[in-house]
Amino acid sequence: MGSAIIEHINLNVSDPERAAATAAALFGWAERWRGLAANGRLTIHVGSAQGYIAFHARPTDDVGTRFEKGVPFNHVGVQVDDLDAVEARVVAQGLTPFAHGDYAPGRRFYFFDPDGIEYEIVSYSPPQA
């Protein structure tokens, strides 16, 4: 059997423009595509050449509702080279990092986006001097 990779994740968000801009600012990702999904709602794909997150507009009657942690999933994990630089960008976006941890073989922290989606940011690189 060949190897498998995750090509994308599709998240329902209240504001795809904001979510896409935040991901681009935090992770240095670029917009890969935007358009209307089959249901007529805006979707914006932001990521790297290897994969992306599709930020899909939630139904208008659902906007403003925050998901309970762990529903429908626990978090999105993003691996970065410079954990401290990404954390500074998270703070600059007005978001709050928490649950910092050092563990073999890396370091991590978490934050919630404005829709209550939790992200784990992890680095396996040594801390920058």
CB atoms within 10 A of CB 59: 10
What integer is the mean pLDDT of 77-106? 94
Bigger pLDDT: 123 or 66?
Answer: 123
What integer is the mean pLDDT of 61-66? 64
Confidence (pLDDT) at 126: 76
Predicted structure pTM score = 0.85
Share of the chain above pLDDT 70, in %: 88
Confidence (pLDDT) at 63: 59
- What is the DSSP code string of the chain? -------EEEEEES-HHHHHHHHHHHH--EEEEEEE-TTS-EEEEEE-SS-EEEEEEPPGGGTTPPPPTTSS-S-EEEE-S-HHHHHHHHHHTT---EEEEEETTEEEEEEE-TTS-EEEEEE-SPPP-
pLDDT in tens, 112-128: 998 888 999 999 987 76
